[in-house]
């Protein structure tokens, strides 16, 4: 065995380079089943961030079904999702450039189904074969670019139509689903100021022969009950997920009453940031394949719909989503601490699984991977919070005696979201160079029940910051990291937590904000419709509580921010506008605090192009190397750091 080299933390040579990450990695979209054929989306950084729908036939042959320059991505709610569906071999998809709906079959050019009007957007569509139409969510920006009109619409398949409204009047809609005989339509809806995980409603209406809807009936939900993924069983029973017991459990409605299918302290649902999420599907009217999460770890299970007995299936995966099933086969997206997300095909007769697509073709020795350790640490008010801790790890290197590792604290976005234990090369990029990393599921994160999720109610910018700081202090107190060399990073809401931790606390020595929020009032005034009232629940109503918005905005408390910060921003971001980063940069320049700024043309909320992902990752490493005085093992293009 080769003797380890001694080198300072941060300077270790790693095979997990930025070039390797962008060349080997794609993001896998939700899989779909059409008979026994399987379809999924691939976001390809090497193709400028284009999303391609790939089809795999029963014999294993695969084919790209969305030719360049088409890009299967919708801008409904800006976060998209539900941008494609397949029926009887025909693919229907939303194209990013013009937001029109198209259809295509193998070997054919895509043909438009909606008119050329970029102010109309579509998502979450299903095929109503008996009436030769799609049923979709439409977002209409013709009257207002910010406060668009959302509705459920029908779109004929025999020409170019903008859609006929079936349901409207509320602020938001999702998940239109037809009963197997086409006689009933179910959907979800919610209104400002709620987000779908705060409170939403499940409605059902009869569908007349002409396709119009009869009188609608409220089935479940309300302002304080979150409903997720209504779905009809093969025998016409409506199932859905509700958090009415403070955990997202599975229920069913048989036309007169609601029965609980599961009653566990577990999450069978997820926050509906994007369309098309699926945590369960029907093998038959007698059996459901599902996934649920406990303490941040997913499990796969079968439920007998007669006995309601849940049988857990043994798998090596800790993060499971996107379940689709029929009597013969299931397909899902899965990952683990040793495997990046994959599309998995499961034979339901033998329960044997087959990986049919990997998000990364990894040829790196797994000994370079740091394994996440779930930890629970004390935080404010006698409570505890959760995180995944990744120790620095590289089989070729060790640190000088007595040196403790730098700590990187990662604050996830949302803030209603969660960190995953699935292998992430962008995390391993840091740990294999000698950084310790704490991926915090602060109060407000999902996967731990509604009470944990609601810790942020009225307290965003307090609880999340406290938990990130207390997690860092906990590791330093254990002697696992160097308490004088700790940094915090995050994107979007995680960028806000990052900037807040630097402005309001004295725990970290540096930070990195990716398209983070610095001015809460500006966010409330400028962001898109989906999140335009999100802060009502996280901060308070605006402008009535403008005092709280100012009190918790880092831009108004730059006097407390004395450590170096690097900013990364997409210049076409419509969720967190570029001015949020630029205001902070100018304020820190004026204060003569070391600051760096990397803006990216053509990027929105999150970076999709290979060259920009590479530049951001390497630029952040270069920034820390200058701040903490270590020499990176890689040749990196320098970043200009003002006031250093």
pLDDT tens, position by position, 7-22: 999 999 999 999 999 8
**269-286: per-residue pLDDT in tens?**
999 999 999 999 999 999
Q: Looking at residue 518, what is its pLDDT?
A: 96
Which residues, other chains included, contact 381 with Cβ-Cβ below 8 Å and sequence gap of 6+? Answer: none
Residue the block writes with tokens 């690097």: 566
Mean pLDDT of 165-191: 98
Specify the range with the lowest mean pLDDT, choosing from 104-118, 377-391, 431-445: 104-118
Give the bridge partners for 103, in sequence order: 92, 111
Give the bridge partners for 512, in sequence order: 489, 566
Rounded to a whole number of angstroms, the CA Rg of the chain reads 24
CA atoms within 13 A on the CB side of 3: 2
The answer to whether the predicted template modeling score (pTM) of the entire model surpasses 0.85 is yes
Mean pLDDT of the chain: 96
Report the CATH fold assignment for 8-17+364-628.
Answer: Rossmann fold (3.40.50)
Tokens at 464, concatenated: 């999340």
Q: Looking at residue 614, what is its pLDDT?
A: 95
Give the bridge partners for 86, in sequence order: 91
Instruction: Give percent helix, percent strand, percent coil of the chain, each to the nearest 5.
Output: 20, 35, 45
| 3-class DSSP assignment, residue 587 | helix
Give CA separation, 109 vs 43, 106, 278, 551, in Å: 20, 9, 29, 54
Give CA separation, 401 vs 6, 11, 396, 564, 634, in Å: 9, 15, 16, 28, 24
Whole-angstrom distance, CA of residue 425 vs CA of residue 360: 9
CB 204 within 8 A of CB 184: yes
**87-131: per-residue pLDDT in tens?**
999 999 999 999 999 999 988 999 999 999 779 999 999 999 999
CB 152 within 8 A of CB 166: yes
- For 245-259, letters b (16+ CB in 10 Å) and e give bebbbbbbbeeeebe
Q: Looking at residue 244, what is its pLDDT?
A: 97
Give CA separation, 544 vs 93, 457, 539, 548, 550, in Å: 42, 17, 11, 9, 12
Q: Looking at residue 25, what is its pLDDT?
A: 79
Reported residue count of the chain is: 644
Residue the block writes with tokens 């095979």: 15
User: Where residue 360 falls among pLDDT bands split at 50, 70, 90?
Assistant: confident
Asked whether residue 74 carries a pLDDT value surpassing 70, the answer given is: yes
Asked whether residue 362 carries a pLDDT value surpassing 90, the answer given is: no
CB 244 within 8 A of CB 223: no
Asked whether residue 628 carries a pLDDT value surpassing 70, the answer given is: yes
User: Where residue 146 falls among pLDDT bands split at 50, 70, 90?
Assistant: confident
User: Where residue 456 falls among pLDDT bands split at 50, 70, 90?
Assistant: very high
pLDDT top residue among 226 and 144: 226
Please tell me what DSSP assigns to residue 36. T
Whole-angstrom distance, CA of residue 521 vs CA of residue 543: 8
pLDDT more than 90, % of the chain: 92
Identify how many contiguous H helices and E strands the chain contains and give both numbers: 10, 39
Asked whether residue 1 carries a pLDDT value surpassing 70, the answer given is: no
**156-168: per-residue pLDDT in tens?**
999 899 999 999 9
CA atoms within 13 A on the CB side of 225: 14
Whole-angstrom distance, CA of residue 564 vs CA of residue 589: 11
- The stretches of 224-313 forming alpha helices (DSSP H) are none
Which residues, other chains included, contact 483 with Cβ-Cβ below 8 Å and sequence gap of 6+? Answer: 472, 473, 476, 477
Asked whether residue 311 carries a pLDDT value surpassing 80, the answer given is: yes
Whole-angstrom distance, CA of residue 639 vs CA of residue 342: 35
Cis peptide before 69 (omega within 30 of 0): yes
Q: Looking at residue 3, what is its pLDDT?
A: 86
**CA torsion angle for 36, 37, 43, 49 (degrees, to 10)?**
-160
Give CA separation, 522 vs 249, 518, 551, 572, in Å: 37, 9, 13, 17
Specify the range with the lowest mean pLDDT, choosing from 20-34, 69-83, 413-427, 589-603: 20-34
């Amino acid at each position: 065995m080769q003797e380890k080299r001694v080198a300072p933390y941060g300077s270790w040579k790693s095979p997990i380079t930025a070039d390797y990450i962008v060349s080997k990695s794609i993001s896998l979209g939700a899989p779909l089943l059409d008979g026994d054929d399987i379809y999924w989306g691939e976001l390809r950084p090497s193709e400028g961030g284009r999303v391609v729908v790939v089809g795999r036939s029963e014999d294993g042959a695969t084919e790209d079904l969305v030719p360049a320059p088409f890009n299967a991505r919708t801008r409904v709610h800006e976060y998209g999702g539900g941008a494609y569906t397949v029926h009887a071999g025909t693919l229907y998809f939303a194209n990013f450039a013009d937001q029109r709906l198209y259809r295509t079959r193998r070997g054919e050019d895509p043909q438009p189904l909606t008119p050329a009007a970029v102010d109309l957007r579509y998502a979450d569509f299903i095929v109503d074969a008996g009436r030769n139409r799609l049923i979709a969510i439409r977002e209409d920006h013709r009257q207002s670019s910010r406060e668009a009109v959302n509705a459920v619409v029908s779109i004929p398949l025999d020409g170019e139509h903008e859609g006929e409204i079936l349901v409207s009047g509320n602020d938001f809609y999702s998940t239109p689903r037809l009963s197997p005989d086409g006689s009933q339509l179910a959907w979800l809806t919610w209104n400002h100021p709620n987000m779908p995980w705060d409170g939403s409603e499940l409605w059902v209406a009869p569908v007349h022969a002409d396709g119009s809807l009869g009188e609608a009936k409220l089935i479940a939900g309300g302002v304080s009950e979150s409903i997720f993924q209504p779905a009809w069983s093969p025998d016409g029973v409506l199932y859905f997920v509700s958090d009415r017991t403070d955990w997202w459990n599975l229920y069913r409605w048989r036309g007169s009453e609601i029965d609980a299918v599961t009653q566990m302290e577990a999450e069978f649902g997820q926050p509906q940031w994007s369309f098309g999420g699926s945590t369960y599907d029907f093998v038959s009217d007698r059996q459901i394949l599902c996934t649920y999460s406990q303490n941040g770890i997913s499990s796969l299970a079968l439920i007998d719909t007669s006995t309601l007995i849940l049988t857990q299936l043994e798998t090596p995966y800790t993060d499971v989503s996107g379940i689709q099933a029929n009597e013969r086969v299931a397909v899902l997206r899965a990952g683990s601490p040793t495997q990046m997300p994959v599309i998995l095909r499961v034979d339901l007769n033998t329960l044997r699984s087959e990986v049919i697509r990997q998000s990364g073709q990894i040829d790196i020795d797994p000994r370079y991977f740091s394994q996440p350790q779930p930890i629970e640490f004390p935080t404010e008010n006698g409570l505890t919070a959760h995180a995944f801790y990744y120790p620095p790890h590289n089989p070729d290197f060790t640190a000088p005696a007595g040196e403790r590792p730098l700590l990187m604290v990662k604050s996830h976005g949302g803030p209603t979201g969660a960190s995953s234990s699935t292998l992430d090369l962008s995390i391993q990029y840091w740990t294999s160079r000698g950084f310790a990393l704490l991926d915090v599921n602060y109060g407000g994160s999902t996967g731990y029940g509604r009470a944990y999720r609601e810790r942020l109610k009225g307290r965003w910018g307090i609880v999340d910051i406290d938990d990130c700081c207390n997690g860092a202090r906990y590791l330093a107190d254990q002697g696992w990291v160097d308490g004088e060399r700790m940094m915090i990073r995050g994107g979007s809401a995680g960028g806000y937590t990052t900037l807040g931790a630097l402005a309001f606390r004295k725990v970290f020595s540096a930070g990195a904000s990716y398209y983070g929020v610095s001015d809460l009032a500006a966010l409330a005034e400028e962001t898109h419709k989906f999140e335009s009232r999100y802060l009502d629940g996280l901060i308070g109503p605006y402008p009535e509580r403008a005092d709280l918005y100012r009190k918790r905005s880092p831009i108004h408390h730059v006097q407390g921010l004395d450590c170096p910060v690097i900013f990364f921003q997409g210049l076409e971001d419509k969720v967190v506008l570029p001015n949020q980063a630029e205001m902070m940069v100018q304020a820190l320049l004026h204060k003569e605090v070391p600051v760096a700024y990397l803006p990216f043309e053509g990027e929105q909320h999150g970076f999709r192009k290979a060259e920009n992902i590479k530049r951001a990752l390497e630029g952040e490493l270069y920034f820390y190397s200058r701040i903490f005085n270590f020499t990176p093992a890689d040749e990196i293009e320098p970043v200009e750091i003002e006031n250093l």
